[in-house]
Amino acid sequence: MAWFRIRLFGEKGLPKRPIITLLSDFGLRDSYVAEMKAVILSIAPNAHMVDISHEVRKFDVRMGAFLLARAAQFFPRGTVHLAVVDPGVGTERRPIIVETKRSFYVGPDNGLLILSAQKENIEHVYVIENRKYMLTHISRTFHGRDIFAPAAAYLARGVPPSNLGSEIFDPVIPQFAKPEVSGSSIRGEIIHVDDFGNLVTNIADSDLRRLGIEEGDSLLVELKGEKMLLRLCKAYGEVQVGMPLAIIGSCNFIELSVNRGDASKFFGVKDGEEIVVYKQTVGK
């Protein structure tokens, strides 16, 4: 319980506003996001809420997982992350809390939370099942308001996650959460296409280092069955305008880009497609 006291009141016992982030595919035209916030404020009126995004492509768990992982790492220790991209709402999929060494994640057990949680070292996973910490009426279509929002609010108030339900040991681990690294290759996938058309992979810079690949090397990359050499650059301007390159993006995942162009159109690739990087350096 000491950890919860520090998280809520600060190192010197001074009042501290708990932070809850929100991410969803609800959009902003309807009242869904406001309803979740209303529930949170009714339980934890001192909570400070930050919207990561509500423009996740509808039902796109992969996109939601990437945006959550990109943003969550910059929030303070003790933040509660509430994420709802939930095509399985109303089915047997479980509502869960993932406790890491620095945060809580609340949402559906469909892989949405795991990409980010793994980066922070998962300590425990709980299924939300205690009706005391839900709304009185649970709709079949809006667990974000009726189950997840109350859970996030109670965590922000300092309620231990074990009070909300029992621990589980088999959360859904999506394929995009971790690439396959062998002795000579890395098999991953495109997890996001940003507004510039950059192809963001789930291959981290640390994965490349395991193969002895560094910035300045040329990568042998396979996309859609075709292999090509791309230079791993430090800046887009290291290649001519309109030419492709690989680069370590701002969230430390490898991206395929085109200098002042759209890589998704250049390569004819969209998110979810496989990418293989082979150990082959051709000069610096």
**Domains in the chain, CATH or no CATH each:** 2-174 (3.40.50.10790), 179-278 (2.40.30.90)
| Percentage helix, strand, coil for the chain under 3-state DSSP, each rounded to 5 | 25, 30, 45
Could you read off the pLDDT of 153-179 as tens digits, one per residue? 999 999 999 999 999 999 999 989 889
Does residue 4 carry a pLDDT above 70? no
pLDDT band at residue 183 using 50, 70 and 90 as cut-offs:
confident
How long, in residues, is the chain? 284
Summarize the confidence of residues 8-27 as an average pLDDT: 75
* Mean predicted lDDT score pLDDT of the chain: 92
Summarize the confidence of residues 259-279 as an average pLDDT: 94
Share of the chain above pLDDT 70, in %: 93
Summarize the confidence of residues 269-279 as an average pLDDT: 92
Does residue 12 carry a pLDDT above 50? no
pLDDT attached to residue 10:
52
Does residue 14 carry a pLDDT above 70? no
pLDDT band at residue 11 using 50, 70 and 90 as cut-offs:
very low
pLDDT attached to residue 13:
45
Summarize the confidence of residues 196-220 as an average pLDDT: 91
pLDDT band at residue 228 using 50, 70 and 90 as cut-offs:
very high
Summarize the confidence of residues 202-227 as an average pLDDT: 91
Question: Which pairs from 210-215 meet CB under 8 Å and 24+ separation?
Answer: 210/181, 211/181, 211/184, 211/185, 211/186, 211/277, 211/279, 212/279, 212/281, 213/277, 213/279, 213/281, 215/248
pLDDT band at residue 257 using 50, 70 and 90 as cut-offs:
very high
pLDDT attached to residue 175:
87
pLDDT attached to residue 135:
98
pLDDT attached to residue 1:
41
- Whole-model pTM: value is 0.88
In whole angstroms, give the CA distance from residue 133 to residue 148: 9
pLDDT attached to residue 159:
97
Does residue 8 carry a pLDDT above 70? no
Does residue 97 carry a pLDDT above 60? yes
In whole angstroms, give the CA distance from residue 275 to residue 106: 30
In whole angstroms, give the CA distance from residue 248 to residue 277: 14
Does residue 258 carry a pLDDT above 90? yes
pLDDT band at residue 16 using 50, 70 and 90 as cut-offs:
confident
